[in-house]
Amino acid sequence: MFKNVIAPIQAWLMSQGKCVGCGTELALGKSKTVKGRTLVTCVKCGRIFVKKEGKYRRALLSEI
């Protein structure tokens, strides 16, 4: 039940280009290219996101 409440909020934050943990702009994060994907690391909390076509999503462990 908790996941059903949090998931839409996290999706909205990522669509706005913000970190789901701390709300910091992901454009300010450190980015690097790994295996053809752009990985963006949040500067405040260290969460890792994948940027694809201007949108963000959380990175899987296999992508890190």
Give burial (CB, 10 Å; 0-12/13-18/19+) of 47.
middle
Reported as a single tens digit per residue, the pLDDT across 12-34 is 999 999 999 999 999 999 999 99
Share of the chain above pLDDT 90, in %: 89
Dmax of the chain from CA atoms? 35
Total structural domains within the chain: 1
Q: Residue 58: pLDDT above 90?
A: yes
Distance of CA 6 to the CA centre of its chain: 15
Which range of residues forms the domain containing residue 28? 2-63
Q: pLDDT tens digits for 33-56?
A: 998 999 999 999 999 999 999 899
